[in-house]
Structure 1
Amino acid sequence: MERLLAGRPLRTDGALTKENLAREAGVSHATVHRAEDILAEWDLKVARPVLRTPGEVERDETIAKLRKDLREAKQQVTEMNGKLDALASVTANLYRENLQLKEKLGKSRTVAGLPSRRQP
Structure 2
Amino acid sequence: MPLYCTAIGKALLAHSDPATIDRILTGPLPRRTPRTIVAPGLLRTQLDNVLDQGVAYEYEESAPGIVCLAAAILDGTEPVAAVSVTGPATRFRPESHATPVQAAAAGVASILARRVMPNVSAPSLMG
TM-score class, shorter-chain normalisation, is: under 0.3
Give the helix-richer structure, 1 or 2. Answer: 1
Structure (1 or 2) with the larger CA radius of gyration:
1
Give the strand-richer structure, 1 or 2. Answer: 2
Task: Give the structure-2-normalised TM-score.
Answer: 0.27
Task: Give the structure-1-normalised TM-score.
Answer: 0.28
Higher relative contact order (CA 8 A, sep 6+): 2
